[in-house]
Amino acid sequence: MSLWGGVFLEPTDDDLRRLNDSLPFDRRLAHEDVMASIAYARAIGMAGVLSEEETALIVDGLQTIQNELTDGAFSFQAGDEDIHSAVERRLIELVGDVGGKLHTGRSRNDQVATDFRLWGMQAIDTLTAQVKDVQRALVQRASTLIYALMPGYTHLQPAQPISAAHWLMSYFWMLARDVERLQQARNRTAVCPLGAGALAGTPLSIDREDLAWSLGFRSITENSLDAVSDRDFVLEALFIMATIGLHLSRLAEDIILFSNPTFGYVRLHDRYSTGSSLMPQKRNADPMELTRGKAGRLIGNLTGLMTVLKGLPTGYNKDMQEDKEALFDSYDTLSLLLPVVSGVLLTLTFDEEAMRRGLSEEMLATEMADYLVAKGLPFRQAHHIVGRIVRVALDEGVSLSKLPLDLLQSHSELFEEDVAQVFDFERSVARRRARGGTAPDAIMEQITLARTMLGM
Ligand code: ARG
C-alpha 209/C-alpha 215 separation (Å) is 10
Q: At what angle do helices 108-143 and 164-189 cross, to 10 degrees?
A: 160
Q: Which amino acid is at 221?
A: T
Among 104, 128, 150, which residue terminates a domain? 104
User: Which ligand 1 atom is at minimum distance from the Cα of 82?
Assistant: 1
Pick from 108, 324, 328 the residue to mutate for probing ligand 1's pocket: most ligand atoms within 8 Å of its CB: 108
Say which residues have a Cβ less than 8 Å from residue 33's Cβ, sequence separation at least 6. Answer: 83, 84, 87, 111, 115
CATH number at residue 41: 1.10.275.10
Burial tier of 10 (Cβ tally within 10 Å: 0-12, 13-18, 19+): exposed
Answer yes or no: is 320 within a domain. Answer: yes
User: How much is the pLDDT for 277?
Assistant: 84
Residue list, ligand 1 pocket, CB within 6 Å: 22, 26, 82, 108-109, 112, 316, 318, 320-321
Give the end of a domain, one of 328, 357, 386: 357
Nearest residue to 32 via CA among 144, 112, 128? 112
Boundary (domain end) residue, out of 340, 357, 374: 357
Distance between Cα 238 and ligand 1 center (Å): 20
Atom of ligand 1 nearest to the CA of 324: 4
Domain holding 379: CATH number? Answer: 1.10.40.30
Same domain assignment for residues 172 and 235? yes
CA 201 remoteness from chain centre: 34
Instruction: Report how far Cα 288 is from the mean position of its chain's Cα atoms.
Output: 16
What are 338-362's pLDDT values in tens digits? 999 999 999 999 999 999 999 999 9
Cα 321 to middle of ligand 1, angstroms: 6
Closest protein CA for atom 4 of ligand 1: 321
Q: How many domains does the chain have?
A: 3
Q: Which residues pair with residue 192 across a beta bridge?
A: 220
Residue 8 lies in a domain: no
Same domain, 338 and 374: no
Q: Give the distance (Å) from ligand 1 centre to CA of residue 206.
A: 23
Q: What percent of the chain has pLDDT over 70?
A: 100
Do 383 and 302 belong together in one domain?
no
User: CATH no. for residue 240?
Assistant: 1.20.200.10
| Nearest atom (ligand 1) to Cα of 81 | 1
366 in the same domain as 344? no
Residue 118 falls within a domain, yes or no?
Answer: yes
Query: Are 76 and 211 found together in one domain?
Result: no
Residue 51 falls inside a structural domain: yes
332-357 burial, b at 16+ Cβ within 10 Å, e below that, comes to: ebbeebbebbbbbbbbbebbeebbee
Same domain assignment for residues 266 and 143: yes
Among protein residues, the one with the nearest Cα to ligand 1's atom 7 is 108
Ligand 1 mutation target, pool 106, 112, 323, most atoms within 8 A of CB: 112
Residue 320 CA, ligand 1 centroid: distance in Å = 8
Same domain, 265 and 127: yes
Q: Is the pTM of this model over 0.85?
A: yes
5 occurs within a structural domain: no
Cβ atoms within 10 A of the Cβ of 41, count? Answer: 27
Residues 344 and 374 in one domain: no
User: What does the pLDDT average to over 361-381?
Assistant: 95
Ligand 1 nearest-atom number relative to CA 22: 1
7 belongs to a structural domain: no
Please tell me the predicted confidence (pLDDT) of residue 283.
Answer: 84
| 365 Cα: distance to centroid of ligand 1 (angstroms) | 64
Mean pLDDT (the chain, rounded):
97
Which residue has the least CA distance to atom 12 on ligand 1? 321
**Does residue 9 lie within any of the structural domains?**
no
**Best of 318, 324, 325 for a ligand 1 pocket test (most atoms within 8 Å of beta carbon):** 318
Q: Would you say the C-alpha torsion 247, 253, 259, 265 has a positive or negative sign?
A: negative
> Do 225 and 314 belong to one domain?
yes
401 and 306 within one domain:
no
Strand partners, 154: 157
Please give the span between the terminal C-alpha atoms of the chain, in angstroms, as a whole number: 55
Residue 2 inside a domain? The answer is no
State the residue range of the domain holding 36. Answer: 14-104
Amino acid at 215: L
Q: Mean pLDDT throughout 239-253?
A: 98
CB atoms within 10 A of CB 273: 18
CB-CB contact of 158 with 358 (8 Å): yes
pLDDT in the model for residue 1: 64
Q: How far does residue 113's CA lie from ligand 1's centre (Å)?
A: 9
Cα–Cα distance measured from residue 133 to residue 215, given in angstroms and rounded to the nearest whole number: 28
pLDDT at 4: 77
260 and 211 both lie in a single domain: yes
pLDDT, tens only, 152-197: 999 999 999 999 999 999 999 999 999 999 999 999 999 999 999 9
Residues marked active site are found at 155, 276
Kindly indicate the confidence band of residue 2, based on its pLDDT and cuts at 50, 70 and 90. Answer: confident
176-214 burial string, b = 16+ CB within 10 Å, else e? bebbebbeebbebbbbbbbbbbbbebbebebebeebbeb
Cα(91)–Cα(83) distance, integer angstroms? 12
Q: Choose the residue to mutate in 32, 82, 114 for probing ligand 1, maximizing ligand atoms within 8 Å of C-beta.
A: 82
For residue 69, the model assigns a pLDDT of 98
Same domain, 295 and 394: no
Cα–Cα distance measured from residue 302 to residue 323, given in angstroms and rounded to the nearest whole number: 10
CA-nearest of 125, 100, 122, 127 to 30 is 122
**Ligand 1: nearest atom to the Cα of 323:** 4
Q: Which residue owns the Cα nearest ligand 1 atom 3?
A: 321
Could you give the CA distance from residue 140 to residue 49 in angstroms, rounded to a whole number? 57
Interval between CA 110 and ligand 1 midpoint (Å):
9
